[in-house]
Amino acid sequence: MTVVVLLGAPGAGKGTQAPMLAEHLGVPVLASGDLLRAAVAAGSPLGREADRYMSRGQLVPDHTIVRIFLDQLKGADAATGAILDGFPRTRAQAEALDRALAEHGDRVDHALYIEVPLEDLVERMASRRICAANGHVYNVATNPPQVAGRCDLDGSPLVQRPDDQEATVRARMAQQVPPLEDVADHYRAAGILRTVDGRQPIEEVGADLVAALASGDPAQVGPGEPGSGS
Ligand code: AP5
């Protein structure tokens, strides 16, 4: 089983890079934000609870997200491993993940941190669009679709995420970046954290992430400065 945790502040490029890493390793992507947005769209009790936090830019409580995310990880699709996009987001979540994997003699193999300065992220999120059907990620400035307003992969309309309004983005940064640093410290202490400069073009960030998977040393990959932002 190969388990890769993809870390980064909101908008750092986790959702953009996760499918490429998944294809590279032959494992699925499990994205906590997608799981929660599906629950919100379904109007389930979980979705109604999650929406109260997500719409304010706050993290969903650990006990809620840990339960649903680890259930998903136990699913048959993830039997050979997974790319975890957006989970864990707190030290408590990271410890719960470690315990769940250890029950089967597994562990997190790689933690890849995409670093982007916070001031770049607000702008990125204002121009982000996702497809209504499957959440494929675009950017009207840096990564537009071939046909304006339509997903290249499934043809569904492109929409703006409700939590990409500037005020909510700023709240997400303020509330979510400090616990993210705790998670990075957790994996740094375990010797498996690799940091990649997320200010580069999408393809170069992807190449650095693949190189980081292959690299034996926990070190900066790419030209960015360690600790340059998020
Ligand atoms: P989630 O959906 O996970 O949001 P997020 O972590 O805030 O991350 P984003 O999806 O906003 O950004 P991303 O890093 O995937 O960037 P993307 O690739 O889209 O979570 C949503 C909410 O759910 C949270 O706020 C929280 O409330 C809740 N939640 C989720 N997980 C939780 C957990 N574990 N615990 C508690 N609560 C949880 O890229 C952004 C834009 O930039 C796109 O337009 C893209 O095209 C563009 N872009 C990407 N890379 C580049 C590049 N290299 N150069 C230029 N543009 C780029």
Instruction: Look up 74 and say whether it is catalytic.
Output: no
Of the residues 36, 85, 164, 205, which should be mutated to test ligand 1's pocket, given the most ligand atoms within 8 Å of the CB? 36
87 and 69 Cβ atoms separated by less than 8 Å: yes
Instruction: Look up 37 and say whether it is catalytic.
Output: no
Ligand 1 atom with least separation from CA of 176: 25
Of the residues 35, 128, 158, which should be mutated to test ligand 1's pocket, given the most ligand atoms within 8 Å of the CB? 128
Instruction: Look up 89 and say whether it is catalytic.
Output: yes
CB distance 186 to ligand 1 below 6 Å: no
CA of 11 to the centre of ligand 1 (A): 4
Instruction: Walk along the chain (230 residues) and give the pLDDT tens digit of each residue.
Output: 899 999 999 999 999 999 999 999 999 999 999 999 999 999 999 999 999 999 999 999 999 999 999 999 988 687 899 999 999 999 999 999 999 999 989 999 999 999 999 888 988 998 999 999 999 999 999 999 999 999 999 999 999 998 998 889 999 999 999 999 999 999 999 999 999 999 999 999 999 999 999 985 444 444 443 333 33
Ligand 1 atom with least separation from CA of 139: 44
CB distance 136 to ligand 1 below 6 Å: no
9 and 177 Cβ atoms separated by less than 8 Å: yes
Q: To 5 degrees, how large is the angle CA 109–CA 68–CA 190?
A: 25
Return the DSSP state at 225. P
| Predicted TM-score of the model (pTM) | 0.91
Distances, alpha carbon 167 to alpha carbons 12, 120, 151, 171, in Å: 17, 15, 27, 6
pLDDT at 95: 98
Instruction: Look up 170 and say whether it is catalytic.
Output: no
Return the DSSP state at 78. G
pLDDT at 165: 87
CB distance 86 to ligand 1 below 6 Å: yes
Q: Across-strand partners of 29?
A: 83
Instruction: Look up 124 and say whether it is catalytic.
Output: no
CB distance 187 to ligand 1 below 6 Å: no
pLDDT at 216: 59
